[in-house]
Structure 1
Amino acid sequence: MRSLGTRRAALVAGAATVAVIALAGCSAGQVAETAMLDTPIVGVDANSADDSVFVRDATVQYNGLEGYAKDANAPLQLSLYNQTTTELTVTISSRPTDQPQVVSARQVGTVGAAAPVTGNQPSAANATEIPGEEPPSASPSQPATAPQPGVSVQPGAAEQPASAPAAAQVTPANIKIAPLGSALFRPTDRQPLQVIGLSDALKPGMSVNLVLQFSNGSAPLEIQVPVAIPLSPASRAPGNEGEDIESE
């Protein structure tokens, strides 16, 4: 026959075991529920109407609290995935919308420098002298005009530039995607995909309206692409001197 102390010890041990099992069950339930939570994504995810093309993580590059000015260009980040077994072409453009805090752009594409426009006549400095031939001289029918008194002559004023500054060339966003392939665009690309000529200022918290059209006849997809969230918090403004000093 067990003593009273032995029975009490057995009851205490049993209660402790039940408590441990209960806590383990609660903890396991919390872990399972947390595992089902999705990681927050900043960019926009969307699919075409027939699910032939997936759009993932579409954002505008963050460039500070001031954002982008009107008529500026802004780099895009986005990924396109072809879910079909045939090649597709995705054309991206922009158009105005009535939605608040959403701007548009004149064009979507990549920007690259075009070749400079070269003049037809070579300059005298670049002319090559041929052995046995005299360099060309001024025509007798066009004598040099002597400067008038009081009029200063600027050296090289009559010379025309041999080339004009290179103009930026825009390649529209007509993107070919291989069967079951993908097209990834990042702001760090050598020629990033950009929205060109913003209709208004684009600041953090705002979006730009994009329209995606598909060569397979799927309905156009319209999405609002937000400005990305910075990877690190903005620096705080310096406080007033003595702000953190406690009064004695």
Structure 2
Amino acid sequence: MSGLVGRVAFITGGAKGIGLACAQALGRGGARVVIADVSADDLKSAERDLGAEGIECASAVCDVGDRTQVEAAVDFTVKTFGKLDVAVANAGIVRAADFLDLTDADWDAVIRVNLTGVFLTGQVAARQMKAQGHGGSIVNISSVNGVMAIPTIANYNASKGGVNNLTRAMALSLAPHAIRVNAVGPGSIMTDVLRQVVADKAAMAKVLSRTPMLRAGDPIEIGNVVKFFASDDSSYITGQILYADGGRMALNYTVPVPEEALEGL
């Protein structure tokens, strides 16, 4: 895949799960990476793992809902590696509750990280890219739940729907500066969050019944889509949301789940 050797990438929520996989994919493609997260301990562990692969990396503690911290993290990236070419707005949280029980605090917390955090990351990164004068690529992490809905995560659904249209608006605004903006919408990906949900065969069968490929995705499969959007191979693509979901959004019914798909649980 072309266009990543010598590039510098900044990834929020980069200490675990999809964010870490994005750092791995970009780093394996030749990029130098800075991972940002709220957990200093998790960042240290992730930085060790990336370094063990030979990926040139650094880390910054950052709350994406705080503009000052986002600006500091991007400044750190530029001071460490000299520039910024790719920004991945991945940081996100989930707080579940029935709609009638959803609190203002849970609504505000999810919107602050999942939507405002994407806005701040994109704006701060784009200002740096514009100042550099050679364009760049911004990749937002959305979700199939930006289009579909689960009743117990109305705040999450709303945040990811917002990310989709924010992605389009950013792409239009930043196109004159040669900055491309796209999003990836994962389906069921085997992160720590999903592992908690599918702790038994019945729960896994429910998830797989809506997934024609009859498996959960691996985080690196999202990382590789991000790598495509970050690279010159997607040089004429902007304002798009690509759903990596194992066929879920194409499905209008459920599929039977064979016993072998549940082995190991």
**TM band (smaller chain):** under 0.3
Q: TM-score, normalised by structure 2?
A: 0.21
Higher strand share: 1
User: Quick one: higher RCO (CA 8 Å, sep 6+), 1 or 2?
Assistant: 1
Q: TM-score, normalised by structure 1?
A: 0.22
